[in-house]
Amino acid sequence: MLEFFTLKPKTFGLDISDLSLKMIQLGGKKNFLRLASFGETEIKEGIVQEGEIKDQDALSKIIKESLRNVRGERISTKYVVASLPEDKAFLKVIQLPRMGEEDLKSAILFEAENYIPFPIEEVYLDFQIVKPIVDHLDHFDVLIAALPKKIIDPYVFSIKKAGLFPVALEIESQAVARAIIKKEVSLKPVLIVDLGAVRTNLIVHSGYSLRVTFLNPISAKGFTEMISKTLGVSFAQAEKLKLKYGIDSTQQEGKKVFEALIPPLTDLMEQIKKYLNYYQTHTFHEHLSESQGVEQILLSGGGANLKGLKQFLSKELKMRVETGNPWVNILSDVPREIPSLSFEKSLEYTTAIGLALRQETIKNDSI
């Protein structure tokens, strides 16, 4: 959401999380895009903690290292669209009467103070008018996003020290939705379950915008730790068992893995039910389609590769659950395998793909 450059230079996506850094650059032109470059580098624990950069110099070195080690074409551009941590962000759709551009700017800044849980002088604030599905009303929907300056400034410093220029910084959930929501519009509400290495983000997207996001500590790493603890095996062995059996196996060892994962899976399922109920009882709005109920779940993130997860959630939630396709807005005929990057591995790159898409697809709707 935060833009620093008004033109549209060639950019690449940079996804910075607690444990890894991922890069994606797209080639070609709009409607004829392709994967040009990608790479991933581990971030040692402690450099980034819960989205907050603790060692800016170390992160800057990792970014430089990643640039040298990308696969595919060399990344030649210095311009980057980077991620910002979901757990430090505030996102909300507010409603304001229709008015002129300058009056709207003032009204948004005034109203934002009533919603943002931080002193307004301590945050960076951005906003955009959300295009409506139904446009016959007397007001605007406006998506506002805010993050503390003390969180954002170290990201900007680390990126610049690596010799790059941040064209824009964007909250993770926005990039995820851009990657897997076809043409960035959903006529009916969709719940995205982005199951990452250290946390899960639940994202409701409807119409042309995010509507609400919820962060949950359940994670792919947590699944592995639970298997390790329950079965008394090393973390590395637990990871192998998780990948081999998931929660869909009739073999004895596979059943043990499933039993070990029952507590976190049950917790995840209950959290999804809770947030679906909250959304569906608090967010009716005339700008959206008539049906306000979420009827579909899209899985994304590396954790979406857990065998049997899609079937388990579909059965328990009595809802259609699909694996999100991070290439849906890039390739017209998406193969299951992209050269050098499997479909399963590309799920881990969903945020980076969405960031790389930003300059290709962004509309001039920010004020």
Q: Which are the contacts of 89, defined by CB distance < 8 A and separation ≥ 6?
A: 145, 146, 147, 171
| Mean pLDDT, residues 78-99 taken together | 90
Q: Reply yes or no on whether the pLDDT at 364 is more than 50.
A: no
DSSP annotation of 83 reads: E
Q: pLDDT at position 224, please?
A: 97
Q: pLDDT at position 104, please?
A: 86
Position 285 confidence tier, pLDDT thresholds 50, 70, 90: low
Q: Which residue did the predictor score with more confidence, 78 or 338?
A: 78
Q: Reply yes or no on whether the pLDDT at 137 is more than 80.
A: no
Q: pLDDT at position 361, please?
A: 65
Q: CB atoms < 10 A from the CB of 49, how many?
A: 12
| Mean pLDDT, residues 337-364 taken together | 82
Tell which residue, 207, 212, 210, has the closest CA to residue 185: 207
Q: pLDDT at position 359, please?
A: 83
As a whole number, the mean pLDDT across the chain is 88
Residue type, 235: F
Position 102 confidence tier, pLDDT thresholds 50, 70, 90: confident
Contacts 24+ apart (CB under 8 A), 226-230: 226/260, 226/261, 226/263, 226/264, 227/257, 227/260, 227/261, 229/260, 230/256, 230/259, 230/260
Structure tokens at 138: 């007397």
Q: pLDDT at position 157, please?
A: 97
| Contact call for residues 159 and 66 (beta carbons, < 8 A) | no
| Mean pLDDT, residues 169-190 taken together | 93
Extended beta strands in 163-295, E state: 165-171, 186-195, 200-207, 209-216
Structure tokens at 60: 């800057």
| Mean pLDDT, residues 277-306 taken together | 78
Q: CB atoms < 10 A from the CB of 163, how many?
A: 11
Q: pLDDT at position 149, please?
A: 95
What proportion of the chain, given as a percentage, has pLDDT over 90? 62
| Mean pLDDT, residues 234-248 taken together | 94
CA distance 355 to 367: 20
| Contact call for residues 276 and 191 (beta carbons, < 8 A) | yes
pLDDT tens digit sequence for 1-41: 555 554 578 899 999 999 999 999 998 876 678 899 999 99
Q: Reply yes or no on whether the pLDDT at 366 is more than 60.
A: no
Q: Which residue did the predictor score with more confidence, 2 or 276?
A: 276
Tell which residue, 315, 343, 287, 10, has the closest CA to residue 131: 287
pLDDT tens digit sequence for 62-76: 999 999 999 999 998
